[in-house]
Amino acid sequence: MAVYTEVSDEDLSAFLAGYDIGPLMSLKGIAEGVENTNYLLHTGAGYFILTLYEKRVAEGDLPFFLGLMEHLADRGVTCPLPVRNRAGQALGRLGGRPAAIVTFLEGMSVRRPEARHCGMLGEALGALHRAGSDFTLSRDNALSLAGWSSLYREAEPRADAVAPGLSATLAGELEYLARHWPTGLPAGVIHADLFPDNVFFLGGKLSGLIDFYFACRDFYAYDLAICLNAWCFEPDASFNVTKGMALIEGYRRARDLEPAEIEALPVLARGAALRFLLTRLVDWLDTRGGALVKKKDPMEYLKKLRFHQQASSARDYGLVG
C-alpha cells in the first residue's frame, strides 16, 4: 500500500474540523500511487480523496497543481476539484505534511485499453490542452532534457546490472535527443502522466482525469506522445496502430495538430519513452525502503524506445491525412 504517512485520529479530527463536509465516517488507505499518501475519506457529505504530499512533490508547486484542477473543472474538464476549508484555503497541513481534500470521481480505469478508449482519451487530452491554455500560473517541466541527463547520471553506475549495455544505450539516446529535440512547437499546460490508471470510465464513457501532480508547461504534442506510449502498446511491446489512429483522431477532434507537431511526433515519442525508462530505472535501483510499492519494469520502456527509433513519420503511429 502506498501509504507513507499514517494519520492519527486526533490529527485527522482537528484537520477535518476546518471543513464543512460533515462528520467523519471512515478513512481507508488507497494502494494505488507512488508519489503521495492517499486516503479514501467518507464523511457525512459523501466521499472524497485526502492526499498528503510526500517529499517527492515540492510544496511550492502545490498552488499550481490545485489551481490547475480548479481552472480545468471550471472549464468543463471532469477532474478532482479541491475542497476549500472554512478559511477559503485549498491546502492545509496534516501529519507534518501538506495536505488537501479533493472531490471523488466515479468510474474505473481500464487495464487493457481498446481503440474506443484511446479515442475518448485523445479527445479528453485535446480538451484539457484547450481548457488550460489561459491558465495564468506556470511550472517548468523538470523531467525534460536537463532532467533526463540528471536521472541518467544517477542510474549510470548500475544500469548495466539491469541490462547489459543499457548505460551506453541511454547515453546514445540522450545525445540523439539533445541534437534533435524540437523547438517552437505549440505549448501550454500538459498533464504529463496520463496513463490508463489516471483515466476513469463509467457506463462506456470517459468519466474523468486524475493525478495532476506532474502537470507542467511543455509542448502539447509531447503530452500526446506520452499517451501513445502509455495506451497504444500491447503486452508483447508491439505498437497497435489501430489504437494509435484512434488516439490521434480523438485528439484532433478537440485540437488539431500543426504540421510541425506532426513532423516532430517520432522524436517526441522517443523522448517520452526515455523519460519513463529513466524514472523507472532510478526507482528500480533506489526505491525507498518501507514503501510497499510494486516497482515498474524499466525494460518495458526500452522495448518501446526501440520501436520509436525505427519510426520514420507520424504515419507509423496511425496518423491519417
Residue 232 has pLDDT above 60, yes or no: yes
How many Cβ atoms are within 10 Å of 237's Cβ, its own excluded?
15
Architecture of domain 115-317: Alpha-Beta Complex (3.90)
What is the value of pTM for the model shown? 0.94
Give the pLDDT of residue 57: 87
pLDDT score, position 3: 58
Q: What is the model's pLDDT at position 5?
A: 82
Confidence of residue 314 (pLDDT cuts 50, 70, 90): very high
Nearest to 189 by CA among 162, 233, 149, 223: 223
Rounded mean pLDDT of the chain? 94
Q: What is the DSSP string of 145-214?
A: HHHHHHHHHHHHHHHHHHSTTHHHHHHHHHHHHHHH---S--EEEE-S---GGGEEEETTEEEEE---TT
Q: At residue 80, does pLDDT exceed 80?
A: yes
Q: Find where cell 498552488 sits.
A: 63
pLDDT of residue 32: 66
Q: Give the mean pLDDT of 188-215.
A: 97
Mean pLDDT of 148-175: 96
Average pLDDT over residues 245-268: 98
The predicted structure's pLDDT at residue 287: 57
Whether the predicted pLDDT of 33 surpasses 80: no
Given a cut of 50, whether residue 292 has pLDDT beyond it is no
Q: In angstroms, what CA-CA distances link 291 with 34, 193, 229, 313?
A: 8, 21, 26, 41
| DSSP E strand stretches across the chain | 24-29, 37-43, 46-52, 92-94, 97-103, 187-190, 199-202, 205-209, 216-219
Kindly give, in sequence order, each residue whose CB lies less than 8 Å from that of residue 311, ignoring residues fewer than 6 positions away.
Answer: 266, 269, 317
Per-residue pLDDT at 55? 80
pLDDT at 31: 75
Domain extents in the chain: 9-103, 115-317
Share of the chain above pLDDT 90, in %: 90
240-256: per-residue pLDDT in tens?
999 999 999 999 999 99
What is the torsional sign of CA 183, 188, 191, 194?
A: negative
Q: Are 129 and 220 in contact (CB under 8 A)?
A: yes
pLDDT, tens digit, for every residue of 48-73? 999 999 887 899 999 999 999 999 99
pLDDT at 296: 87
**Spatial CA neighbour of 272 closest among 233, 315, 321, 235:** 233
Q: Which CATH class is domain 9-103?
A: alpha beta
